[in-house]
Amino acid sequence: MSSDAIKTLQQKLFRATEDTNGIQQMDSRDPGLTIQIPKATPAPFPKAPPKTSKAVLGDLKIQQNDSTKSYRQRLSELLGADYNGVEKYRLLQDQNRERHWKRWGPYLSDRQWATVREDYSDNGDAWSHFPHEHSRSRAYRWGEDGIGGISDSHQRLCFSLAVWNGQDPILKERLFGVTGHQGNHGEDVKELYYYLDSTPTHSYMKFLYKYPQRRYPYEELVNENVHRDRNVEEYEILDTDVFDEDRYWDIFMEYAKDEDDPDNVYIRITSYNRGPDPATLHIIPQLWFRNTWSWPAQKPPMPSLSAATTDNDISYIKVKHPEMAGSFLCCLPSPPPVCVDGRFVGDEDAVIQPDLLFTDNDTNLRRLYGGINQSACVKDAFHDHIIPSHKLQRGRSDSQGLDSSSTPRPTGSAPTCEASPQELPFVNPEKRGTKSAAHYIFRDVPGRGGCAVVRLKLTPLSPNKDRSLEDEGAFDDVIEERREEANEFYNSLLLGPISDDLKQVMRQALGGMLWTKQFYYFVQKEWIEGDPAQPPPPPGRQHIRNKHWRHMHIEDILSMPDKWEYPFFAAWDTAFHCIPLAVVDPSFAKKQLDLLTREWYMKPDGQIPAYEWNFSDVNPPVHAWATFRVFKIERKLTGREDVPFLERVFQKLLLNFTWWVNRKDSGGYNVFEGGFLGLDNIGIFNRSEPLPTGGSLRQADGTAWMAFFCLNMLNIALELAKHNAVYEDIASKFFEHFIFIADAMTYRSGDHESSLWNEQDGMYYDAIEFGPGNSFQLPVRSLVSLIPLYATLVLEPAVINRFPGFKKRMEWFIDNRPGMSGRNMANMRAGGRGERRLLALASKERLVRILEKMLDEDEFFSEYGIRSLSKLHKEKPWGMHVNGQWHEVGYWPGESHSGMFGGNSNWRGPIWLAVNFLLIESLQRFYQYYGDELQVECPTGSGEYMNLVEVTEEIQHRIIHIFGRDVEGNRATNGGNVKLDQDPHFRDYVCFYEFFHGDTGRGLGASHQTGWTGLVAYHILQSGASCRLPKTPRTPRSLVNHYFDETIDAHSEHEDTRSLYSAMSGAELNTLGDISPDAL
């Protein structure tokens, strides 16, 4: 490139306004530097070859339009009134299999090391068998990990970030955290990173990693956490000094797909020096293949990566894989670093060319075990090549001083070939292999906002014919256009005056959920038996876990709870993930629910797998609820009824329901023990183990969960009966089953009866039954007491009258079993608002008494939602002596004080969004029946009375207050950390924790669990328009009438009000505020 061309490019490249997160401009006081490319006229791209699809032919017409217009403008002109946005168009293309827009996505795990799948030990200790210090040197068997990375949907080819600050003993190429053995509250990631943005098709994604310039404190984080007990807060990265004086890098990663080709991926890595002094940064993006060749007896055809250069001296990596079309990673030269005022560092005419490095994704047996390597160049070669201190360790086992634990040799440690001579280079001098990197060095990047940029492009196009590689301005225009399309998509979800801050929270929540997809690979037979090309695993390993799941064969993109702390699916987590996911991508949400009931997941007896640590554990049966909610959300937002999906999953759930009845009701009395039920340490005893007292535990929540399951199956059956009359009889069967389950809340023991309802306290409690007439309740006020409210269903008169057989059977049962149908449930004879009928465990009287405690701020009602345990137990813990040992339940609003279930979660006081969500929907259903007739004091003792939908709105607002800024700019989830709240380079970013402190709202547990914590996005969409600022007085008001548009196009029965989110209030069919029976 000529000097003038370079100077022109540099002037185009840097401009002095920074958009830190793709959502909102930073404060004007911030002098940050960004990439905001002026919109130049892009050169037209080569036309795609003719194709037969109608949608694709339409795309060709789009290309033939005025090329000076954006793709959005051209598509809008082509579709006219049918235009709903570019991203929605891509979703439709993907759904119709016209374009594979989701082939590339954020499918790398954040942590593959120390997972159950990689554990081949004889004792099941996954944390010790594959520790972090092995991860850079040891090939993974079942998946790959990285920082802000992507892969194809089968994870054959992977891309992610690696960086080096010149101080660390290893490259930063994966996220670090303490293990379950090291953390005082279990495993925990010790990094600062944020999922900032993503569209459902991943046409645009943005990620931020904050990398210290000082040596990363690996040893300090481990040692300090190991020596802390469970009564002390965890030691975090911000508690060290590595971020002092802002000596760190903000590294933004952006991905953008071509407007018309999902296989063209533009990648931009933008790094800002936030510290006061110039600093050097090595940026080392890596491209590699998942190791699939080390395991079979016969080595498969090998993939390969190799170096090449275009006619214009642009370096690129050629990708060849026997199961993939050929592609290229083009590594563009970068301009030199720039100061905040736009001045370049050093020679303005200089460009920074990357050095392409190659090795093989094979285990370094020599380093780890003193063995003989199978390849001359191995997985950790780039560490040796770049870091002087690392290569000194070559040839002997070492752990880089990160962990002193000794780890047994893994599968794959048998020597098979002779060692390479020591004098050979670490990387392949022939520049080929199965793992590659582009090494950029940016020296003396100025402080206080100095910037360095790397651009790469993963493409099937020949680099010599790709014009976008010659014009960095056009390259950046593609990224900016995709970002604008992302803005268009998220703006289309909003109806109503939601604040900018809550819009940002909502978008980061949904973006985080889309980032938290992961390729999950597990074949039980191969995992249990070991691989033919490797030494056999220890014989005893077959009996440690999951030995009964022989049918399991998973190779899918799944929604994870947290890709670092929980890089595996969890059945009941997935159900909650699918609610907000259905708002942005109904097809993906439906696929998640469908997969868990497919024959390669679900056991032949109907059990749904829980999670990889123990697939046989029992999670609450929420799958039917989630399935029907996703079906209804899609119908509400798009008008589409996917009856085949609903019917397919329902048929499998019939098997699951039968499994519950046969396996979890040991006495045949419809009282379901349940066991674990996902609530970890909520009970006084570990509910997954035999009681130390002897006897049987009668779980109020176990029985309530089954009643909830039953009502959802009834609801689905009635929906399906609209299309197939056979389901009317099945609906009648579930109606009767619900009556029997409800009756079991008063259980029989011989000639004696005992109830799980405590009339004196006005709460449901668990009970221990020792024998006929010998039982007692466990008077602990926890979610166990509230979960019976979930079992609530309202039937419309139109629905009842539409199915005369169901109506006749229901009325017969009410008339002929009055003792059963009138006990332990609401009155089914009485018609409610609009002559609706109510099926619920809690009668009106019991509902009011429960809400009296639930809405008491000295018990369950926190400023930030409903606590999992009443605050009453802070001063009045409840306990008992058993066999000389004291067992007690007390109020722990923060982290757990015990090691039960690993000690990394706590249900004895904190706020959990998933169970709050079900409580909110239950109260909304109760309002469908009672209407304004039922008013309760909220909060208890305040003197202010609300109907139940106003109560739900108040709970939603308190949950939103966890994340939103208060009047002083602070977020409760940050726990009072001034840097997180006030620093202009932190304050706009939100972490979505697993659960939250019951008194302060501080985030706890897994820090990136946008799984079920992503439900806050749904709350914002539903009631964010009326949400006040945190810590400000509530203005009494009623928003009740406008919630009840019965169908998409129906007028409200209330003449003077309309839903803020109904079809009547805007052009979009967004009616998430509709909580009518048709919607819920």
Q: What is the pLDDT of residue 671?
A: 62
Tokens of residue 962, six digits = 């966890």
What angle (nearest 5°) sits at the alpha carbon of residue 105, between those of residues 100 and 110? 155
Q: What stretches of 373-526 adopt beta strand conformation (E)?
A: 432-433, 435-445, 450-459, 517-523
Q: What is the DSSP letter of 402?
A: S
Q: Which residues contact 901 (CB under 8 A, 6 or more apart)?
A: 680, 681, 686
Q: 946, 985, 1012: which is closest to 249 by C-alpha?
A: 985
Q: Give dist(CA 880, CA 355) in Å, integer.
A: 67
Better-predicted residue by pLDDT, 55 or 283? 283
Residues in the chain: 1080
For residues 899 and 230, the answer to whether their CB atoms sit within 8 Å is yes
Q: What is the pLDDT of residue 38?
A: 29
Better-predicted residue by pLDDT, 615 or 497? 615
Q: What is the pLDDT of residue 37?
A: 29
Which 3 state secondary structure label does DSSP give 36?
A: coil
Q: What is the pLDDT of residue 677?
A: 61
pLDDT at residue 625 is higher than 60:
yes
Q: Lowest-confidence range among 406-410, 468-472, 526-530?
A: 406-410
Q: Give dist(CA 578, CA 594) in Å, integer.
A: 11
* HEC sequence for 76-106: HHHHHHHCCCHHHHHHHHHHCCCCCCCCEEC
Better-predicted residue by pLDDT, 699 or 601? 601
Better-predicted residue by pLDDT, 968 or 661? 968
Q: Lowest-confidence range among 20-29, 83-92, 401-410?
A: 20-29
Burial class (CB in 10 A: 0-12, 13-18, 19+), 793: buried
What sign does the dihedral 219-222-226-227 (CA atoms) show? positive
For residue range 65-95, list pLDDT tens digits in order: 566 899 999 999 999 999 999 999 999 999 9
Residue keyed to tokens 């910037």: 451
Q: What is the pLDDT of residue 772?
A: 72
Q: What is the pLDDT of residue 632?
A: 96
Q: What stretches of 505-607 adopt beta strand conformation (E)?
A: 517-523, 553-559
Q: Which residues contact 292 (CB under 8 A, 6 or more apart)?
A: 156, 300
Q: What is the pLDDT of residue 34?
A: 37
pLDDT at residue 857 is higher than 50:
yes
Tell me if the bond preceding 337 is cis, omega within 30° of 0: no
Q: Lowest-confidence range among 112-116, 456-460, 539-543, 652-656?
A: 539-543
Rounded mean pLDDT, 25-40: 34
What sign does the dihedral 358-360-361-367 (CA atoms) show? negative
Question: Which H or E element spans position 743?
Answer: helix 726-743
Q: 561, 517, 564: which is closest to 175 by C-alpha?
A: 564
| Average pLDDT of every residue of the chain | 86
Q: What is the pLDDT of residue 672?
A: 65
pLDDT above 70 covers what percent of the chain? 84
Rounded mean pLDDT, 721-731: 96
Q: What is the pLDDT of residue 676?
A: 52
For residues 270 and 35, the answer to whether their CB atoms sit within 8 Å is yes
Tokens of residue 739, six digits = 């009556």
Tell me if the bond preceding 49 is cis, omega within 30° of 0: no
Q: 134, 133, 116: which is closest to 125 by C-alpha?
A: 116
Question: Which H or E element spans position 4?
Answer: helix 3-13
For residues 780 and 771, the answer to whether their CB atoms sit within 8 Å is no
Q: What is the pLDDT of residue 668?
A: 64
* C-alpha 909, offset from chain centre: 23
Rounded mean pLDDT, 142-159: 98
pLDDT above 90 covers what percent of the chain? 70
Rounded mean pLDDT, 153-172: 98
Q: What is the pLDDT of residue 415?
A: 37
Question: Which H or E element spans position 586?
Answer: helix 586-596
Q: Lowest-confidence range among 507-521, 661-675, 986-1000, 1022-1036?
A: 661-675
Q: Lowest-confidence range among 60-69, 161-170, 1011-1020?
A: 60-69
Tokens of residue 393, six digits = 């360790």
Which 3 state secondary structure label does DSSP give 500?
A: helix
Give bridge partners of residue 150 from the DSSP assignment. Answer: 159
Q: What is the pTM of this model?
A: 0.90
Distances (CA, A) of 784 to 484, 757, 903, 908: 46, 11, 20, 11
Residue 421 binned pLDDT confidence (cut-offs 50, 70, 90)? very low
Instruction: Count CB atoms within 10 A of the CB of residue 40.
Output: 12
Tokens of residue 402, six digits = 């990160």
Q: Lowest-confidence range among 148-162, 457-471, 612-626, 654-668?
A: 654-668
Rounded mean pLDDT, 915-928: 96
Q: What is the DSSP letter of 421?
A: P
Q: What is the pLDDT of residue 628?
A: 98
Q: What is the DSSP letter of 1078?
A: T
For residue range 966-1021, list pLDDT tens digits in order: 999 999 999 999 999 999 999 999 999 999 999 999 999 999 988 899 999 999 99
pLDDT at residue 650 is higher than 90:
yes
Q: Give dist(CA 754, CA 168) in Å, integer.
A: 64
Q: Lowest-confidence range among 136-140, 390-394, 743-747?
A: 390-394
pLDDT at residue 11 is higher than 60:
no
pLDDT at residue 1054 is higher than 60:
no
For residue range 210-224, list pLDDT tens digits in order: 999 999 999 999 999
Tokens of residue 90, six digits = 């891509």
pLDDT at residue 849 is higher than 70:
yes
Rounded mean pLDDT, 579-592: 97
Residue 1028 binned pLDDT confidence (cut-offs 50, 70, 90)? confident
For residues 437 and 356, the answer to whether their CB atoms sit within 8 Å is yes
* HEC sequence for 867-925: ECECCHHHHCCEEEEECCEEEEECCCCCCCCCCHHHHCCCCCCCECHHHHHHHHHHHHH
Q: What is the DSSP letter of 1042?
A: G
For residue range 226-243, list pLDDT tens digits in order: 999 988 999 999 999 999
Q: 46, 44, 59, 104: which is closest to 461 by C-alpha?
A: 46
pLDDT at residue 97 is higher than 60:
yes
Q: What is the pLDDT of residue 1035?
A: 59
* C-alpha 434, offset from chain centre: 30
Rounded mean pLDDT, 361-383: 94
Question: Which H or E element spans position 270?
Answer: strand 265-273
